[in-house]
């Protein structure tokens, strides 16, 4: 059981990363091996929309994205974290997500579990955390929960967010251990897989790698 937590704040004493490391502590106490990744330590280039990953399964960009992606794929649980930057995730986090379009098509996170945390100066932390979980959901992951804390709500609320983060880590570990099932989400995953099946079948001449992936999985 491995859980990876990905921090996308550039700040040294990041509020968001404090929530993330607390989720990881909860997951560790729940029996998981944990890995912490600071995105700002990695060189990740922007997706060029060349479609090569759809065609061949490989990316043309030579950077450190594969190092992170490998850890994501070998993990059972993924926690994404980002401060609210102009009512959205940080550019670094968005850059990572954009590199994972093939992950959406191939539903590579099916069977994995996700969680997300965010902080904001004034408002919007929960919306950012929800976006992060939604991103993992459309890649196939089942969402366990999230924590969003608006710092303007005061120190007491931040401490409450820290406590919730620890509980989220425990819940994430438990979901992995028990292979938790969420009927509503499973319906969503089935609908998403059907959509991707239609797409990949329709584009099979242009995207032979993805078509082959679907046939190998016996989804087509």
33: tokens are 């091996």
Residue 166 binds to ligand FMN (criterion: CB under 6 A): no
- Output the smallest distance, CB 93 to ligand FMN, in A: 11
Binding segment (CB under 6 A) for ligand FMN, from list 15-23, 71-79, 103-111, 158-166: 15-23
Alpha-carbon gap, residue 176 to 2, rounded angstroms: 9
Our CB check for ligand FMN shows the closer of 156 and 181 to be 156
121 binds ligand FMN (CB under 6 A): yes
Q: How far is the CB of 109 from ligand FMN (least distance, A)?
A: 24
Among 3, 59, 129, 151, binds ligand FMN (CB under 6 A): 151
Helical pair 208-216 and 183-202, crossing angle rounded to 10 deg: 130
23 with 165: CB under 8 angstroms?
yes
- Binds ligand FMN (CB under 6 A): choice among 66, 111, 122, 154: 122
Residue whose pair of structure tokens reads 């409450």 in the numeric block = 160
Reduced 3-state DSSP string for 74-122: HCCEEEEECCCCCCCCCHHHHHHHHCCHHHHHCCCCCCCEEEEEEEECC
Among residues 4, 5, 9, 141, which is the contact residue for ligand FMN, using CB under 6 A?
Answer: 9
Interacting residues with ligand FMN between 124 and 143 (CB under 6 A): 124
Spatial CB neighbours of 211, under 8 Å, sequence gap ≥ 6: 200, 201, 203, 204, 220
CB atoms within 10 A of CB 183: 7
Over the window 76 to 95, marking each residue x when it contacts ligand FMN by CB under 6 A and - when it does not, the resulting string is: -------xxxxx--------
In the three-class reduction of DSSP (H, G, I as helix; E, B as strand; rest coil), residue 180 is classed as: coil
Stretch that binds ligand FMN, among 11-19, 33-41, 162-170, 189-197 (CB under 6 A): 11-19
Q: List residues near ligand FMN by CB under 6 A.
A: 9, 11, 14-17, 83-87, 119-124, 151
């Amino acid at each position: 059981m491995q859980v990876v937590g990905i921090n996308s704040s550039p700040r040294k004493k990041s509020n968001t990363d404090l929530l993330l490391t607390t989720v990881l502590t909860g997951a560790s106490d729940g029996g998981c091996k944990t890995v912490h990744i600071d995105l700002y330590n990695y060189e990740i280039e922007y997706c060029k929309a060349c479609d090569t990953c759809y065609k061949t399964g490989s990316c043309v960009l030579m950077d450190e994205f594969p190092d992170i992606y490998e850890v994501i794929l070998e993990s059972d649980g993924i926690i994404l974290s980002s401060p609210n930057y102009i009512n959205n995730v940080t550019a670094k986090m968005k850059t990572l997500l954009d590199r994972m379009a093939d992950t959406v098509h191939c539903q590579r996170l099916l069977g994995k579990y996700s969680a997300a945390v965010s902080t904001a100066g004034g408002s919007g932390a929960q919306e950012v955390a929800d976006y992060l979980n939604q991103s993992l959901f459309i890649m196939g992951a089942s969402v366990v929960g999230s924590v969003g804390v608006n710092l303007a709500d005061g120190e007491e609320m931040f401490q409450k967010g820290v406590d919730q983060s620890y509980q989220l880590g425990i819940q994430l570990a438990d979901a992995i251990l028990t292979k938790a099932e969420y009927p509503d989400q499973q319906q969503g995953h089935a609908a998403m897989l059907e959509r991707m099946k239609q797409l990949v079948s329709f584009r099979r001449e242009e995207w032979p790698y993805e078509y082959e992936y679907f046939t190998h999985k016996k989804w087509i």
